Amino acid sequence: MKITLVQYDIAWGSPEDNWQRAEAVIANAPLSDIYVLPEMFSTGFATDPADVAERDQRSLQWMKQTAARLNAALCGSVATCDDGSFRNRFYFVQPDGSVDFYDKRHLFTYGGEDKRYTRGDNRVVVCFRGLRILLQVCYDLRFPVFSRNHGDYDAIFYVANWPASRLAAWDTLLHARAIENQCFVAGVNRVGTDAAGCVYSGGTMLIDAYGRTMAQSADNQPDCVTADLDLEKLASFRLKFPVLSDADSFSHDSIF
């Protein structure tokens, strides 16, 4: 299973421009099974979604077309308006056009995201070509109970607009989530400066279940990183060192 993580400078509020930027980075990547884009990849992180949230699903249509062309899954989050509610929605689009999505649960209160967006109620795991993936968005990274592995996934995908000023936390928490859940972790961030003046330096990376960095992007520039996920080795490690079977028991339903 080959995964490519796509990091670029997101143009504020310009989906067409950002589709082109993503395509330019993808064009330089090896052929992969899954391509992962950042949080709000088509607009930049908008705490006031009124002017940028999509009502016509045009970014989703672009994702479907691109996934079909690449014969691969394409995923990333988009600011959407669904039945009058704004959502930070993480789409996972398969090449046959089928779509799964996760609505961000932990809205970023420090930035005011919770004031205008509606949080999600569902924990979402998708399966693609034998890989089981937990979908998560940015601030979710700080809440390990929500992402705890109960043997139902092999990888976590975190898509983000994570500022350079807090990059040490990003790096530490991504590695922690991989170690504690005995899984692969992909963290996909952006670069550049957004409309609010927030600076992003990247830090996009893929980590294995031992907590080792398998691949990492260059800082402060558009880049893509690609790595192969060996599911047989992951299963062997979990069998040999059964951390998950010793975990404290709780129900995910109890946290909602």
Structure tokens at 197: 């003046």
Q: Is residue 45 a contact partner of residue 15, using CB atoms and an 8 Å limit?
A: no
Euclidean distance between CA atoms 98 and 95, whole angstroms: 7
Cβ atoms 194, 223 nearer than 8 A: no
- The long-range contacts involving 164-171, CB below 8 angstroms and separated by at least 24 positions, are 164/199, 164/200, 164/201, 165/199, 167/201, 167/203, 169/142, 170/141, 170/203, 171/203, 171/205
User: Annotated catalytic residue: which of 75, 138, 183, 224?
Assistant: 138
* Strand, coil or helix: 66: helix
Strand partners, 151: none
Residue 203 has φ and ψ, to the nearest 5°, of 90, 15
Q: Is 138 a catalytic residue?
A: yes
Select which of 64, 104, 183, 224 is catalytic.
Answer: 104
Close Cβ partners of 60 (under 8 Å, ≥ 6 residues apart): 54, 78, 91, 93, 99
Question: Does the annotation mark 39 as catalytic?
Answer: yes
**Residues tagged active-site:** 39, 104, 138
